[in-house]
Amino acid sequence: MEFAQYITYGVINGSLYALVAIGLALIMGIMGIFNIAQGSLAMIAAYGSVLFFQHMKIDPFVSLALTLPGMFLVGVFMYLTMFMSMNKFDPGQKLRNSMLVSFGLVLIMETLATILWTANERTVTTAYSGTVMALGDLRIPYTGIATIILAIVVIFGLHFFLKHTTFGKSIWAVSQDHDCAMLMGINVKRTTLVAFGLGIALSAFAGAVVSLHTVSPAVGIDWTNKALILIVLAGVGSINGILFAGLLLGIVEALGVYLVGVHYTGVVGLLIFIIVLMLRPQGLFVRKAGV
Amino acid sequence: MVERKKGLVLAAAVIVALALVPFFTVREYVFSILCMLFLYVTLSQSWNILGGYTGQINVGQAAFFGMGALVARLLWVAGVPFYLSILAGGLGSVILAIIIGLPALKLRGHYFAIGTLAVATIAQITVGNILPGISFLPAQQMATYSLIPRYYVFLIIMAAALAVIYFTVNSRVGLGMEATRDDEEAAQMVGVNTFKYKMIAFLISSFFAGLAGGGFAYFNASYYWYLPFTLMWCFEPILIVFIGGVGSFLGPVIGSVCYVLLKELFALTLGEANLLIFGIVFILTILFFPKGVIGLPAKLRQLFYRRGNVVGR
């Protein structure tokens, strides 16, 4: 039974990883921009949730109504000032430059958060945090259930949006052929701007969930790391695959905790990463052969 | 060829002059600044051979720096002679590089960056979990602590790194590295084994990053075990290389001088906010001066040339 409990926590953690990774997957898979700062943005969004809760007693899931548009504007600002100018580069150069710039952003955001909110860990304690649903011997925290539901809704919602709405399809079109999309009458500049803003806004979902656990300035790069491992597991360009990759990483990590102890959780993740790189570098959930 | 010889003689003269510094001054401040300078030159030049000459962006240099520091410190404190422990630290970093390089460097694109970042974050957290405390020097080593041997250790590591990297990038191997960076597909087409050159660059890079880490472990009397693994050690070499000029041999040296001076200045006046300034400087460099200080004259000439053109029209 203890084993099932570990797996449950693995599933919950995995859903959270998927929530952090989904914005990164959108921006990287569709726009070719490698944003290492995604986890740090989730950290900033989480501080937003913490502050709204501390000062106005707004529940993190309710304050999403404020943090989502807030992060969207942050994304728009980032794109206009930094990433838009990279569209003139070839894909390799764009990937490299965006990675370096966002690496600088990681440092800026971590320092800014430390100056503004100190390096101490913070958390949101709501009426329901700590309460669990008992399912036989299994104990599932309500926040965990909310995380899983949120991850499923957000990821499948994004998938539906990209595949079945006009605007979503135009995002795909621009990603496939920038010039051709322009000739078809798509406003390429607006589409890429909104897509990037959307990718950054998605970090607010992760932020809301993270604020219910603990948030400190240093967690940003850690979340990015999990998100990047998920991208490699799922394969670049896969949206639905992110959820499954998240669950896989979460469960394997939980198994690692169960078998070798909590100190080595990260090493287990790294091992899966290396194994996938060796055996199936295009990702587990992409059918395309070769890289 | 004559130019190159002149440069080498000049470099040797500078190194010899630096070796003589302890005979002229005993001020600890001078030594510690110079030690930091040598450390940053080593670390950034080790990043440059891989990132600048071979085009593989390592965003996790801290893992290799930290590995060198960890192994060297553990062995040294346990009683192994220092020169052996620092070499063991370098080898530890090389082993880490082989583990991550073999799968990640076979592939193109983002895999190497993700792999190195993953190694760095995971190493930091794992070391922080296993060794949460501070590493103190044992009393008898503390009693004999002196800056002079530290100074020479850093100087020797730097001279070795500069020499090895200089002769590597100016050899046939260096040509292979640059071919890999400029167009990997074309290079493979004409028969260049790009994986081999990427791996050579990565091994040299990680070895000297590890030695620099060993120097750090020798220099500091006490520090948190996880400190050499922190994100700053990933960021600093990249920042220095880009400020100085990426893919040029003098770039990291110039960048390190600028960085150490600016850091002293900012840390005194701005405190914690100095990292903010460096982050912004870094982003502006990437966006507007991708060739760094080395590329400034060409950039200015280009500006004038363009202006002249407009007038001509």
Return the domain boundaries, chain A. Answer: 2-279
Q: Residue B35's pLDDT is what? A: 93
Residue B16 forms part of a structural domain: no
pLDDT at A187 over 80: yes
Q: Give the C-alpha separation, B233 to B284, whole Å.
A: 20
Per-residue confidence band for A214, with pLDDT thresholds at 50, 70 and 90? confident
As a whole number of Å, the end-to-end CA separation of chain B is: 41
pLDDT of B174 strictly over 90: yes
pLDDT at B209 over 50: yes
Q: Which tens digits make up the pLDDT trace of B246-284?
A: 989 999 999 999 999 998 888 778 877 888 888 999 999
What's the rounded mean pLDDT across residues B231-251? 92
Please give the residue of chain B at the shortest CA–CA distance from A92: B109
Average pLDDT across chain A, whole number: 88
Q: Residue B222: enclosing H or E segment and its boundaries? A: strand B222-224
pLDDT single digits (tens) B9-35: 888 899 888 888 888 877 888 888 999
- Quick one: pLDDT at residue B312? 42
Residue B287 lies in a domain: yes
**What pLDDT shows up at residue B26?**
76
Q: CA-CA-CA-CA torsion for B183, B187, B189, B192, nearest 10 degrees? A: -160
* Residue B3 in domain: no
The residue of chain B nearest to residue A109, with distances taken between CA atoms, is B276
Give the model's confidence band at A76: pLDDT under 50 very low, under 70 low, under 90 confident, else very high: very high
pLDDT band with cut points at 50, 70 and 90 for residue A91: confident
A·B CB contacts under 8 A: 119
Q: Do the Cβ atoms of B113 and A34 come within 8 Å?
A: yes
**CB spacing of B99 vs A274 below 8 angstroms:** yes
Contact present, B210 and B67 (Cβ < 8 Å): yes
Q: What angle do CA B217, B40, A92 make, to 5 degrees?
A: 115
Phi, psi torsion values for A289, nearest 5 degrees: -90, 145
List, for residues A137-158, the tens digit of each pLDDT value. Answer: 788 888 888 899 999 999 999 9
* Interface probe, candidates B47, B116, B117, B183, chain A, greatest A C-beta count within 10 A: B117
Kindly indicate the confidence band of residue B222, based on its pLDDT and cuts at 50, 70 and 90: confident
Q: What is the CATH number of domain A2-279?
A: 1.10.3470
Alpha carbon distance A23, A6 (integer Å): 27
Q: With an 8 Å Cβ cutoff, are A111 and B57 in contact?
A: no
Contacts of A23 (CB under 8 A, 6+ apart): A38, A41, A198, A199, A200, A201, A202, A203, A206
Is the pLDDT at B139 greater than 50? The verdict is yes
Check CB contact under 8 Å for A225 and B108. no
Domain span holding position B240: 28-312
Q: Classify B134 as helix, strand or coil.
A: strand
Average pLDDT, chain B: 89
Partner-chain contact A114 B272, CB within 8 Å: yes
Distances (CA, A) of B198 to A3, B49, B56, B243, B249: 43, 10, 8, 23, 18
- Whether B126 sits inside 8 A of A277 (CB atoms) is no
In a domain, B297, yes or no: yes
What's the first-to-final CA gap in chain A, in angstroms?
41
Torsion of CA B274, B280, B285, B287, to 10 degrees: 170
ipTM tops 0.95: no
Nearest Cα to Cα of residue A153 among A7, A39, A26, A18: A18
| Amino acid occupying residue B239 | L
For residue A281, the chain B residues in CB contact (below 8 A) are: 103, 106-107, 111
CB within 8 Å: B107 and A291: yes
Looking at residue B291, its pLDDT comes to 86
Look at residue B179 and tell me if it is in a domain. Answer: yes
Q: What is the mean pLDDT of residues A226-255?
A: 90
Cβ distance B238 to A107 less than 8 Å, yes or no, reads: no
Task: Evaluate if residue B311 carries a pLDDT over 70.
Answer: no
- Per-window interface: B 84-103 vs A, CB < 8 A: 99-100, 102-103
pLDDT, residue B31, reads 87
Mind telling me how many Å the CA of A107 is from chain B's nearest CA? Answer: 6
Is residue B141 one of the residues assigned to a domain? Answer: yes
| Average pLDDT for A111-131 | 83
CB–CB contact A222 B121 (8 Å): yes
Q: Is the pLDDT of residue A289 over 60?
A: no
Check: CB of residue B12 under 8 Å from CB of residue B155: no
Going by pLDDT thresholds of 50, 70 and 90, the confidence category of residue B309 is: low
Of A60 and B142, the one with more pLDDT: A60
Residue B275 has its nearest CB partner, among A34, A107, A229, at A107
Contact between A103 and B238 using a beta-carbon 8 Å cutoff:
yes
Taking CA atoms, what residue in B is nearest to A89? B287
Overall domain count for chain B: 1
B117, part of any domain: yes
Q: What local confidence, expressed as pLDDT, does residue B313 receive?
A: 37
Q: For residue B59, what is the domain's CATH number?
A: 1.10.3470
Q: What is the mean pLDDT of residues B60-89?
A: 93
Q: Is the pLDDT of residue A288 over 60?
A: no
Contacts of residue A111 in chain B, CB cutoff 8 Å?
272-273, 275-276, 279
Helix (H), strand (E) at residue B195: helix B194-219
Q: How far apart are CA B54 and CA B128, in angstroms?
A: 32
| Structure confidence at residue B1 as a pLDDT band (50, 70, 90) | low
Stretch B100-120: mean pLDDT, rounded? Answer: 87
- Whether residues B110 and A222 touch (CB distance < 8 A) is answered with no
B258 vs A: CB within 8 A: no
Please report, as a single letter, which amino acid is at residue B171.
Answer: S
User: Are the C-beta atoms of residues B68 and B214 closer than 8 Å to each other?
Assistant: yes
Selected residue with higher pLDDT from A4 and B39: B39
B94 within some domain:
yes
